[in-house]
Amino acid sequence: MNKDKELKNSNSSSSLFLFLNKLLKWIKIILRYIAVYLILIVILSVIGYSQSQFYIYLGYFLKTWAILNFLVIIYFIWKLYIIIRFAKNKDFINPEILPKFIKIELLESKDIALNQYSVNPGEVYKHYLNLIFLYISIVIFGLTVMVLISTN
């Protein structure tokens, strides 16, 4: 009987994680930002900051958020460019002479270019353009919220 309850509890907790794993990537990103926002509200209320101080810190957070998401946009544009270049020329860059973290990224891009891009370039374009559009909308949303907060 206890085993049935334990199994039921473990199934219900793991089903929540399975549900979260089945969500689309953009929904997961939005849920993470909402979670960070709520955690920030709780931490600041526990510390005892007033509402006006909260909006100051929220403004700093949104500025940092917009800058970091803009850097992610630049990364995806760079990644798409590298994939296209590797598709046109397999020896575009020799990753053997570069540092390990760059070498891994370039080898992954080369693998995408030689396997997926050569088979169906439209899917690769669609994937990266969707990611770029998602992060552009996140930046615009953050900047809009920042402007609305600053007018109060």
Residue 69, pLDDT above cutoff 80: yes
**76 pLDDT tier (thresholds 50, 70, 90):** very high
Question: How many CB atoms are closer than 10 A to CB 101?
Answer: 8
> Are the C-beta atoms of residues 75 and 135 closer than 8 Å to each other?
no
Q: And the tokens for 15? A: 């089903």
**Using DSSP, how many helices (H) and how many strands (E) does the chain show?**
6, 0
Q: And the tokens for 82? A: 């590298």
In terms of pTM, does the model score above 0.85?
A: no
What pLDDT score does 147 carry?
82
